[in-house]
Amino acid sequence: MKIVSDLLRQADPLNDDLRRLDEARDQIRRTVVTAASVARPRVPRRKAALGAAGALAAALIVVGLLVGLGDRGTLRAAVRFEMRLAEAQPIPGLIVARVADSGRVIYLHPETIVTNEDIAQSWVIQDGPDRFSVSVEFLPAGAERMRQATAIHLGHPVAILIDGEVVIAPIVRSAISDSAAITGDYTRAEAERIASGVGIR
């Protein structure tokens, strides 16, 4: 007679799978901490029905931004923001790009999902004593485009472009809709500059 318990222990996937947690830990941590930073008090259902179209942020992207932000002088020249779907493998018709923080090569879809035009508001979040990031919330139309685009793109990268440069391309783990967070080792001044810059239409 064989014992079910022994078989379970022998077949335990954790015997060789803990390294996957090590690889993903930091990304998941950033995502959930940022989500906590931008979460807002729940709106009572009745008030929501009266027209609170912007409900709570539902899904988040964590973006590490390591590029320098030069002096841009005027508000018009402020930060240009785009998000596009991307692929890890080459596909004819896609645009080759290199991710700034890692040097990884990805392949951008030509269509832009959201831009500065789709940002309803942006604000600075303090991640640590000297670390700041930026959160952006999309207007309803942009949020819906994000949701539709990313819902069928699970397991593939989505690229964040700042001034035309891919700053990071995280893998889509669940559909993204209302908001995104741009995180990195920013100073407060840098984060404020991005937050005010991306909000310019």
Partner 1 sequence: MSGQPIVSALAMTVEERPSDRVAALFDAHHQRIYRLARRLTARADDALDLVQETFLRAARAPKSVPVGAEREEAWLVRVLINLRRDQWRRAAVQRRHDAIAAPQLRAEPDHGPAVIARTTVWRALDRLPPRRRAVVVMHELEGLAVSTIASQLGISAITVRWHVSAGRRDLARVLASRHGDYE
Our finding on whether 129 is near partner 1 (CB under 8 A) is no
Taking CB under 8 A as the criterion, the residue among 35, 158, 167, 176 binding partner 1 is 35
Residue 78: which residues within 8 A CB-CB, separation 6 or more?
Answer: 72, 193, 196, 197, 198, 200
Q: Residue 79: what residue type?
A: V
Residue 72 phi/psi, 5-degree rounding, is -105, 0
Minimal CA–CA distance to 38: which of 174, 197, 195? 195
Residues within window 44-73 making contact with partner 1, judged by CB under 8 A: 56-57, 60
Our finding on whether 198 is near partner 1 (CB under 8 A) is no
Taking CB under 8 A as the criterion, the residue among 65, 108, 113, 125 binding partner 1 is 125
Taking CB under 8 A as the criterion, the residue among 5, 71, 93, 96 binding partner 1 is 5
Minimal CA–CA distance to 62: which of 151, 163, 170? 170
Our finding on whether 4 is near partner 1 (CB under 8 A) is yes
> What is the four-CA torsion angle of 89, 92, 93, 99, rounded to 10 degrees?
20
Our finding on whether 127 is near partner 1 (CB under 8 A) is yes
Taking CB under 8 A as the criterion, the residue among 88, 102, 117, 174 binding partner 1 is 174
Q: Given the rule CB under 8 A, which residues bind partner 1?
A: 1-5, 7-14, 17-18, 20-21, 24-25, 28-29, 31-37, 39, 42, 56-57, 60, 125, 127, 155, 173-174
